[in-house]
Chain A
Amino acid sequence: AQSVTQPDIHITVSEGASLELRCNYSYGATPYLFWYVQSPGQGLQLLLKYFSGDTLVQGIKGFEAEFKRSQSSFNLRKPSVHWSDAAEYFCAQTGNTGKLIFGQGTTLQVKP
């Protein structure tokens, strides 16, 4: 069965520090992978997506993610975090059904 695991429920980083949010997926073939960000009480904004091709994908707001088939991972990174990046981050995949399967989310807190 398809699933997405985000091992870190809550992460705190200092402003200006680098960030890596982990995501592991379970699917027999190559899935379509996404990272979404959600500020409190708001909808989800698409940060980036991976369908095929270059395994390092660039997204909006300075985020990037790397697809590693051998590790079934799609980790999100940012070299320097800003206070406005504090939010909930969801990793998601779709397989052959087209249905979005979300991880449980990681709450990012940014210390000044």
Chain B
Amino acid sequence: DTEVTQTPKHLVMGMTNKKSLKCEQHMGHRAMYWYKQKAKKPPELMFVYSYEKLSINESVPSRFSPECPNSSLLNLHLHALQPEDSALYLCASSQKERGTEAFFGQGTRLTVV
């Protein structure tokens, strides 16, 4: 099983809302990632968790707050987003942070109104 599951698939939120994106994997992977992808562009790394600890934060604004409650789950908490934050948010996981391939979920299409 090489599946990474993301919920919800689609999300529309207002600029004053608080929402969360969820990601789950049961492959025993110890590294998990959040990427942001705008239309016609490659994914951009936002955060990396390795062994449930934040390893990389790519200078992401504080209105995005990641959380890794356990080795299978990764959340992205959203608050006070801007319309330009509308994008496809992709979660990925890999066996470890270096030297192994990453598997991606199907993404959450986020629209900020």
Chain A contact residues, CB within 8 Å of chain B: 32, 34, 36, 41-46, 49, 51, 90, 94, 96-100, 102-105
Are A51 and B102 in contact, CB atoms less than 8 angstroms apart? no
Q: Would you call B88 and A41 a contact (CB within 8 A)?
A: yes
Cβ–Cβ < 8 Å partners of A43 in chain B: 4, 6, 90, 104-107
Task: Please tell me if B103 contacts chain A, counting CB pairs below 8 Å.
Answer: yes
Q: How far is the CB of B64 from chain A (nearest CB, A)?
A: 18
Shortest Cβ distance from A97 into B: residue:
B98
Mind listing 18 A-B residue pairs with CB under 8 Å?
A: A32-B99, A32-B101, A34-B101, A41-B88, A41-B107, A41-B109, A42-B106, A42-B107, A43-B90, A44-B43, A45-B104, A46-B103, A49-B101, A90-B43, A94-B99, A99-B45, A104-B42, A105-B42
Further 9 A-B residue pairs, CB within 8 A, beyond A43-B105, A97-B98? A32-B99, A43-B6, A44-B90, A49-B101, A90-B43, A96-B98, A98-B48, A98-B98, A105-B40
**A98 to B40, alpha carbons, bound, how many Å?**
24
- Given known contacts A42-B107, A43-B90, A43-B106, is B42 in contact with A103 (CB within 8 Å)? yes
Closest Cβ neighbor of A105 among chain B residues = B42
Number of A-B contacts (CB under 8 A): 52
B110–chain A nearest beta-carbon distance, Å: 12
Task: Report which residue of A41, A51, A105 has the largest number of chain B beta carbons within 10 angstroms of its beta carbon.
Answer: A41
In the complex, what's the smallest C-beta–C-beta distance from B111 to chain A, in angstroms?
A: 13
Contacts of B109 in A (CB 8 A): 41
B15 at the interface (CB under 8 A from A): no
CB distance from B2 to the nearest CB of A (A): 8
CA distance A44 to B98 in the complex (A): 19
- Chain A proximity mask over B87-104: 1 for CB below 8 Å, otherwise 0: 010101000011101111
Looking at B90, B98, B103, which has the most chain A CB atoms within 10 Å of its CB?
B98
B56 contacts partner chain A, Cβ-Cβ < 8 Å: yes
